[in-house]
């Protein structure tokens, strides 16, 4: 038994420590603090309204995940501001980006993306809200001025329905 344990230790000691996947460099446009302005569409989740907030992106300490946090600014017409977090990484085995996400109202989910295709980064997956699983699609676009466009859609009654859209610009 001791010999087997030593063999396992030697195998583990000989393995190189993991390194963050280089594909995460594709997410550099999100590693900033951005001011966001957008529109929330009328839907079963609530009435239409404008939206302002801040999106902050950073790499975690070891560098394997990008952390994205969005904080909506409270307003007189919208006292229940939304906040959400996403964690993005890259799975070299599946050759795709992965996302874990959750919001301030108890929603959570996961998604995947092939990465940037031209100037679009599209995440697709499933979120759970109030016990219901719902397909989602989140599309980011790179703009020439350095801003990021974003659209969030969910499949409601069998059709893709835009819930939010907006633009986030780097803070000066």
Question: Is 7 within the bounds of a domain?
Answer: no
Q: Band the pLDDT of 11: cuts 50, 70, 90.
A: low
Q: Is residue 49 part of a domain?
A: yes
* 91 inside domain: yes
For residue 121, is it within any domain?
Answer: yes
Specify the CATH number for the domain of residue 160: 2.40.128.20
The pTM of this model reads 0.86
| Mean pLDDT, the chain, whole residue set | 90
Give mean pLDDT, residues 104-115. Answer: 96
Between these two residues, 154 and 10, which has the higher pLDDT value? 154
Please compute the mean of the pLDDT values over residues 90-94 and round it to a whole number: 96
Q: How far apart are CA 147 and CA 169, in angstroms?
A: 4
Euclidean distance between CA atoms 6 and 21, whole angstroms: 30
Q: Does residue 158 lie in a domain region?
A: yes
Phi, psi of 59 (to 5 degrees): -85, 145
- Domain membership flag for residue 16: no
φ, ψ dihedrals at 156, nearest 5°? -120, 125
Domain span at 134: 31-170
On whether residue 15 sits in a domain, the answer given is no
- Number of separate domains in the chain: 1
Residue 96 in domain: yes
């Amino acid at each position: 038994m001791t010999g087997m344990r030593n063999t396992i230790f030697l195998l583990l000691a000989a393995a190189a420590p993991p390194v963050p996947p280089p594909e995460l460099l594709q997410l550099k446009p999100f590693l900033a603090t951005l001011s966001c302005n957008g529109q929330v569409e009328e839907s079963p989740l609530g009435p239409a309204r404008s939206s302002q907030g801040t999106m902050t992106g950073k790499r975690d300490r070891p560098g394997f995940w990008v952390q994205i946090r969005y904080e909506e600014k409270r307003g007189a017409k919208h006292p229940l501001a939304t906040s959400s977090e996403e964690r993005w990484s890259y799975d070299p085995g599946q050759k795709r980006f992965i996302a874990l996400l959750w919001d301030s109202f108890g929603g959570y989910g996961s998604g995947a993306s092939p990465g940037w295709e031209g100037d679009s980064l599209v995440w697709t997956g499933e979120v759970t809200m109030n016990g219901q699983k719902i397909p989602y699609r989140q599309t980011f676009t790179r703009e020439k001025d350095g801003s990021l466009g974003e659209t969030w859609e969910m499949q409601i009654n069998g059709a893709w329905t835009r819930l939010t859209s907006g633009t986030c610009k780097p803070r000066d």
